[in-house]
Amino acid sequence: MYTHYFGLTEKPFSIAPEIAFLYESEQHREALAHLLYGLSSDDCFILLTGDVGMGKTTVCRHLLDQLPEQTEAVVVASPCSSVAELLAVICRELGIETAADTGDEGAYRDNLKAYLLEARVKGRVVAIMVDEAQNTSLDQLEELCSLATLKSEGSQLLKIILIGQADLSQILNQQDASRISKSITSRYHLLALDQKNCSAYMEHRLAVAGAQEKIFSKAALIRVFQLSHGIPRFVDVLCDEALQISCMQKQYLVSAGDVDAASRNVLGNVVEKKVKITRKQLWIRVFSGLALFLLAGGALSMYFSQQYAIPSHPTKVEKPVVASSPVQVAPVNKQKAKKVPEQSGTTIHIVPLEIDD
């Protein structure tokens, strides 16, 4: 295993959510503060969304470790097969004693409400976090919405936190879920890490795992961000594989090439190789392109000059041949000559003349 090779005490990029490895980016701090505020305020129906691997579950586990005093929270994993099963799971997680599982929704609601009223009298706040809530059916979301509206003397008895992927927002935007959507009092959406936070995230996890020296090169840090798009789960998978590859190659510094190889192994990405060219090759390409441009321009110029050519010299007219000795021409008899009437236009009529002998 590479942990001993790099002097680490444990694997730094395990995908299992562990509080010790939680990196509090600005976004994650905002999300955590958002949830904590919701628990201490009048918000009763809170929504936390984010794409796969964004760290939603980790944030919620961190929330459980920082609950305000007199606050009790449980996590319900979705999906449940029915509303009755959902209510049964909630009661079981809260430690509510119920009769044998009969599937009676009303009985579960009554037991839950009695528990919430007792908690209210004792000054305790009860919260239910539903993980992977995008897999929860619409009728179960309706039930959770109804539970969030339970009141006693004008105060909310229960707080519901829905945690799910971005699909959950789309589900709630549907027309038949409008009542649920309108009941949500607070929303927060987790985005991917930027390059700065992505590198800090990696270095934080390495430090927690006992790293004493630099393990990832600067180019490798950038490449991880480019291939993972800043999604923490993809960062973990890439880095874990890159460390293994670097260890097998007897290298103590993970390179960008190791990250590319890791991407092909675990993400299936086709990594394009960057081909370096010499200065001579670059100038050859430049001049080749320029020559091709000039040749194309010359060919076009010749083509158009032939199509629309204008003669540069007047057309040559053959001169009439003059006889060496003058020829006697008989006089024209004007009286016998036929008179040609004038006509408009450009047509020329040639009429033979009668010549007296």
Contact 177, 138 (CB under 8 A): yes
From residue 137, give the alpha-carbon distance in Å to each of 33, 133, 354: 28, 9, 117
Pairing of strands 186-190, 45-50: parallel
Beta bridge partners of 158: 126
Domain endpoint, select from 266, 286, 310: 266
* 152, pLDDT greater than 70: yes
Q: Could you list the residue range(s) of the whole structural domain that residue 95 is in?
A: 26-190
Q: Are residues 241 and 107 in the same domain?
A: no
**CATH number of residue 223's parent domain:** 1.10.8.60
- Considering only CA atoms, give the Rg of the chain: 44
Residue type (1 letter), 320: P
Residue 310: inside a domain, yes or no? no
Q: Are residues 170 and 42 in the same domain?
A: yes
Question: How many domains, in total, are found in the chain?
Answer: 2
pLDDT tens readout for residues 342-355: 444 445 554 554 44
**218 vs 343: which has the higher pLDDT:** 218
pLDDT of residue 43: 80
125-131, strands of its sheet edge to edge: 71-77, 125-131, 158-164, 45-50, 186-190
pLDDT band at 21, cuts 50/70/90? confident
pLDDT band at 44, cuts 50/70/90? confident
pLDDT mean over 222-233: 95
pLDDT tens readout for residues 64-121: 888 888 899 999 987 888 999 999 999 999 999 876 666 788 889 999 999 999 999 9
pLDDT of residue 336: 47
pLDDT mean over 225-249: 95
Residue type (1 letter), 213: E
Contact 198, 224 (CB under 8 A): yes
Contact 104, 46 (CB under 8 A): no
Residue 31: inside a domain, yes or no? yes
* 188, pLDDT greater than 60: yes
Q: Are residues 91 and 212 in the same domain?
A: no
pLDDT band at 267, cuts 50/70/90? confident
Domain endpoint, select from 162, 190, 218: 190
Residue 178: inside a domain, yes or no? yes
- DSSP run (H or E) holding 211: none
From residue 191, give the alpha-carbon distance in Å to each of 50, 59, 276: 6, 13, 35
pLDDT tens readout for residues 270-329: 444 443 444 555 556 655 666 666 666 666 566 556 655 555 555 454 444 444 445 454
**CATH number of residue 147's parent domain:** 3.40.50.300
Q: Are residues 137 and 47 in the same domain?
A: yes
Residue 260: inside a domain, yes or no? yes
Contact 51, 165 (CB under 8 A): yes
